[in-house]
Amino acid sequence: MGNVENPVASTSAEVQLRQEMTDGFQLVIDALKLNGIDTIYGLPGIPITDLTRRAQAAGMRMLSFRHEQNAGYAASIAGFLTQKPGICLTVSAPGFLNGLNALAHATTNCFPMILISGSSEREIVDLQQGDYEEMDQLAIAKPLAKAAFRVLHAEDIGVGIARAIRAAVSGRPGGVYLDFPAKLFAQSLDAEAGRKSLIKVVDPAPKQIPGADAVKRALDLLKSAKKPLIILGKGAAYAQVDTEIKALIEKTGIPYLPMSMAKGLLPDTHELCASAARSFVLPGADVVMLIGARLNWLLSHGKGKTWGGKDHKDWGGQRFIQVDISPQEADSNVRIDAPLVGDIGSCVSALLSEMGRNAGSSWPKPPAEWLNAVAEKKNGNVAKMAETLAKNPTPMNFHSALNVVRDIVKANPDAMFVNEGANALDFTRSIVDMYKPRKRIDVGTWGIMGIGMGYCVAAAVATRQQVIAIEGDSAFDRDHLQLETICRYNLPVCVVIFNNNGVYKGTDINPTGGPDVAPTVFVKGARYDKLIEAFGGVGVNATTPAELRKGMEEAIRSRKPTLINAVIDETAGTESGRITSLNPSAAKKK
């Protein structure tokens, strides 16, 4: 199928006829644009090459990646940042499978995303006659997506895209798959009929108002608490109701713990932020209000030793309030005494207005004993960390490098911050304070490696801010070629590789004494900075905090694509960072 705007000379009657027709390609573009979607992350090829060209011609931002998985991660985080479904566009079978990882990631993390994949001819696929890139993609996508649809007729494209948008953003957001067989794009349709078939989705993510009884139940429980705690999750960040959440925390005076991607909803330096006293407040709290956070592995399932339970499955005695849009989330791990089901904006507003109605402007603050104990613990830990950060060992280690990163982020609070790795993730999360909402984006619910460069591209495109990425050298494995994507679009991205010669560390040895290095070890002294130079970006090799600081400052000043190879002591860090205990063999060794 060629471009419809073929500039071959034609009679005016022919032009008139052509203008009155539209086709599948055009309807996909028109339907997306009609719904305010102006960016596509993808990789061209049969049958979607013309779609990428025509999307660009129609004024959409069409960002081509070097691998679909990275494009998919970009789309997923664009969805998180914008509340609009991020679009990933791939070719059939292998391209689709490469994008599928990100689709599952979006569903798992509650990010709105639509994976659109071209597919082969239905009649050949269904009879398994061996078509080019034959695969029953819809069937494969279904278990990994919140919803999955196939469109066979051009006049149904509008409905297909409307359903996909609604499914992605309403209720608990997630990943949606849209299957477009090759023939669909070439189908032509009367232009007027085509226009009429499109749907501009009205109120795609409707408010969900919590019940008055549920609001009262939650507040009664909160009021009874002697040691209350609020936990903010990435659902709270996604909801974009930052002022209301700040008001709730400050009005109640309750210490809060931000989950990784909720950091910065209130500045991490806020007096009620209990991050530095995490291992004190979790077992110590008697009533915990979860706002957009699940009691999954990241919160030790709400039980066990982390929560003061005697053994790993024992309840710590906390009573929980859970604010969540999903009515099925409560009781997933432990009993939730007060589920508050609704969108976070409506729930937090309802809590605030009910608090105001009952207590005038003075909601009772938590007992001073609890607040003082939390503050004491926190201040002690902050002071201890300050001592560690002040050291300047040779070689540079995670702490001395992160001391620099911490300063740079403080000086550039609007910069987007991407982070992946094991030690490179855990140390960064606890050392680098965030000051504004939705700035920190990272490995999320799965603890997945490979999101880094896709996130960098989407963060730069969706927010137009400077992007800083802190990457473990192994975390960066799946990302190398996206440096070309970053350079091609000249994005203001500064990637810092914490290079410690391997997965977790670079010190393992092959116990057989054979020629192969240990499975966790990489080439020693690799120069990742040379990779970006191949594409015209700026490469910096930094062996000291001073060199790292200079490199980062220059990257931010110039806004040039930059990669800093930060050489870190290969003996620093621990196996799997803070989740060593999840390794079956490591647990046995302990």
* Residues within the interface to ligand TZD (CB under 6 A): 421-424, 447-450, 472-475, 498, 500, 503-504, 573, 577
One-letter-per-residue 3-state SS of 225-281: CCCEEEEECHHHHHCCCHHHHHHHHHHHCCCEEECHHHCCCCCCCCCCECHHHHHHH
Number of H helices, E strands in the chain: 23, 19
One-letter-per-residue 3-state SS of 316-359: CCCEEEEEECCCCCCCCCCCCCEEEECCHHHHHHHHHHHHHHHH
Is 292 an interacting residue with respect to ligand ADP (CB under 6 A)? yes
Given candidates 41, 238, 435, 455, which one binds ligand ADP under the rule CB under 6 A?
238
Q: Sign of dihedral through CA atoms 504, 508, 510, 511?
A: negative
| Helix (H) or strand (E) run with residue 406 in it | helix 398-411
Per CB under 6 A, 326 contacts ligand ADP: yes
Identify which range of 3-11, 118-126, 291-299, 553-561 contacts ligand ADP by CB under 6 A.
291-299
Min separation Cβ 470 and ligand TZD, Å:
9
> What is the rounded CA–CA span in Å between residue 434 and residue 436?
6
The answer to whether the CB of 421 falls within 8 A of the CB of 472 is: yes
422 interacts with, out of ligand TZD, ligand ADP, none, CB within 5 to 8 A per kind: ligand TZD
Beta strands in 6-112 (DSSP E): 21-23, 39-42, 61-64, 86-90
Closest listed residue to residue 569, CA positions, set 535, 553, 545, 538: 545
Binders in 108-137 for ligand ADP, by CB under 6 A? 109-110
The mark string for 204-233 relative to ligand ADP (x by CB under 6 A, - otherwise) is -----------------------------x
Out of 102, 104, 145, 261, the residue judged to bind ligand ADP by CB under 6 A: 261
Q: Which of 325, 330, 458, 555: binder of ligand ADP (CB under 6 A)?
A: 325
Please state the closest distance from residue 520 (CB atom) to ligand TZD, in A: 8
Total interface residues for ligand ADP by CB under 6 A: 24
Residue of the chain from 262, 374, 422, 566 that contacts ligand ADP (CB under 6 A): 262
Q: Judged by CB, which is closer to ligand TZD: 204, or 472?
A: 472
Shortest CB 425 distance to ligand TZD, Å:
7
For the CA atoms of 355, 359, 360, 364, what is the dihedral angle to 10 degrees? -90
Site string for ligand ADP, 82-111 (x = CB under 6 A): ---------------------------xx-
- Contact indicator for 512, 467 with CB cutoff of 8 Å: no
Burial class (CB in 10 A: 0-12, 13-18, 19+), 161: buried
Minimum distance from residue 476 beta carbon to ligand ADP (Å): 23
Q: Which residue is nearest to ligand TZD (CB)?
A: 472
- Residue 298 in the binding site for ligand ADP (CB under 6 A): yes
x-or-dash pattern for ligand ADP, window 343-362, by CB under 6 A? xx------------------
Closer residue to ligand TZD (CB): 400 or 500? 500
Q: Residue 373: which H helix or E strand, with range?
A: helix 368-390
| Region near ligand ADP per CB under 6 A, out of 128-136, 290-298, 465-473, 577-585 | 290-298
CA dihedral sign of residues 309, 313, 317, 319: positive
Q: Please check whether residue 490 is in contact with residue 561, taking contact to mean a CB–CB distance below 8 angstroms.
A: yes
Binding site for ligand ADP (CB under 6 A): 109-110, 172-173, 233-235, 238-239, 259, 261-262, 292-294, 296, 298, 324-326, 329, 343-344, 445
